[in-house]
Amino acid sequence: MTTNTSTKGPGRRALMKTSMGAGVALAAGSWTRPVRAQGKPTKLVYVGDNGPWHQCLVQEVAPAFEKEHGIKIDFTLLPIDALVARLKAELSSGAGAIDIVQWDASMAGWVSRHMQDHAKLLEQAASRHPDFDWADFLPRVQGMATYDGKLSGIPYRVTTGVLFYQQKLLEQAGFDKPPSNFAELLAAAQATTKQGLPHRYGFGVMGRQGPAMLGSFTPFLRSAGGHYYDPKTGEIFVNQPPAVEALQFYGDMMTKYKVMNPDSLTWEFDGIIAGGQNDQFAMTVTLAPYGEGMSDPKLSKTAGNWGWSLMPGKDSIKQTATYMAGWMLGVPEGAKHTDWSFEFIQMATSKKWLRRAIDLADAPPRVSVLEDPAVLAKHPWAPVLGESLKTAVLDHQDPVWSTAQLPLRTAISQVLLGQKTAKQAMDGCAVQWERSFRLAGMKG
From 75-83, 305-313, 317-325, 380-388, span contacting another protein (CB under 8 A): 75-83
178 half-sphere exposure, CB direction, 13 A CA radius: 21
Please identify which residue in 260, 409, 422, 442 interacts with another protein, judged by CB under 8 A. 409
100 with 47: CB under 8 angstroms? yes
Q: How far is the CB of 439 from another protein (least distance, A)?
A: 6
DSSP characters for 227-294?
A: --B-TTT--B-TTSHHHHHHHHHHHHHHHTS--B-GGGGG--HHHHHHHHHTT-EEEEEEEGGGHHHH
Residue 37 lies near another protein (rule: CB under 8 A): no
φ/ψ bin of 135: left (φ > 0), alpha (ψ from -120 to 50), beta (otherwise): alpha
Helix (H, G, I), strand (E, B) or coil at 204: strand
Please identify which residue in 18, 92, 172, 233 interacts with another protein, judged by CB under 8 A. 92
Q: How far apart are CA 351 and CA 364, in angstroms?
A: 10
Residue 316 lies near another protein (rule: CB under 8 A): no
Q: How far is the CB of 91 from another protein (least distance, A)?
A: 10
Q: How far apart are CA 401 and CA 301, in angstroms?
A: 38
**With respect to another protein, which residue has the nearer C-beta, 52 or 304?**
52
Nearest to 46 by CA among 75, 71, 70: 75
* Of residues 384-403, those binding another protein (CB under 8 A): 399, 402-403
Please identify which residue in 65, 103, 110, 217 interacts with another protein, judged by CB under 8 A. 110
Residue 270 lies near another protein (rule: CB under 8 A): yes
* Of residues 340-379, those binding another protein (CB under 8 A): 361
Q: How many residues contact another protein, by CB under 8 A?
A: 77
Cα 102 to Cα 50, 99, 143, 156, 174, distances in angstroms: 11, 10, 17, 9, 45
Residue 405 lies near another protein (rule: CB under 8 A): yes
* Of residues 4-33, those binding another protein (CB under 8 A): 5, 8-9, 12-13, 16-17, 20
Residue 76 lies near another protein (rule: CB under 8 A): yes
Please identify which residue in 262, 316, 371, 378 interacts with another protein, judged by CB under 8 A. 262
C-alpha dihedral, 393 to 398 to 401 to 403, nearest 10°: 180
C-alpha dihedral, 287 to 290 to 291 to 292, nearest 10°: 150
* Of residues 41-60, those binding another protein (CB under 8 A): 45, 49-53
Q: How far is the CB of 10 from another protein (least distance, A)?
A: 9
From 25-33, 116-124, 127-135, 207-215, span contacting another protein (CB under 8 A): 207-215
Please identify which residue in 26, 97, 393, 394 interacts with another protein, judged by CB under 8 A. 97
Q: How far apart are CA 207 and CA 409, in angstroms?
A: 9
Q: How far apart are CA 319 and CA 330, in angstroms?
A: 34
End-to-end CA distance of the chain: 44
From 76-84, 170-178, 181-189, 217-225, span contacting another protein (CB under 8 A): 76-84
How far is residue 211 CA from its own chain's centroid? Answer: 11
* Of residues 135-194, those binding another protein (CB under 8 A): none
The DSSP code for 313 is B
Residue 63 lies near another protein (rule: CB under 8 A): no
From 229-237, 245-253, 272-280, 365-373, span contacting another protein (CB under 8 A): 272-280
Please identify which residue in 55, 167, 190, 278 interacts with another protein, judged by CB under 8 A. 278
Residue 123 lies near another protein (rule: CB under 8 A): no
Query: 10 Å Cβ neighbour count for 118?
Result: 23
Residue 201 lies near another protein (rule: CB under 8 A): no
Residue 319 lies near another protein (rule: CB under 8 A): no
Q: Which residues contact 260 (CB under 8 A, 6 or more apart)?
A: 189, 201, 202, 203, 204, 205, 207, 253, 254
**With respect to another protein, which residue has the nearer C-beta, 256 or 435?**
435
81 with 110: CB under 8 angstroms? no
Q: How far is the CB of 15 from another protein (least distance, A)?
A: 9
From 139-147, 312-320, 336-344, 416-424, span contacting another protein (CB under 8 A): 416-424
Sign of CA dihedral 18, 24, 28, 30: positive
For the purposes of burial, counting CB atoms within 10 Å of the CB of 36, is it exposed (0-12), middle (13-18) or buried (19 or more)?
Answer: exposed
Please identify which residue in 61, 84, 259, 389 interacts with another protein, judged by CB under 8 A. 84
Q: How far is the CB of 417 from another protein (least distance, A)?
A: 5
Residue 75 lies near another protein (rule: CB under 8 A): yes
Residue 85 lies near another protein (rule: CB under 8 A): yes
* Of residues 222-251, those binding another protein (CB under 8 A): none
Q: How far is the CB of 286 from another protein (least distance, A)?
A: 11
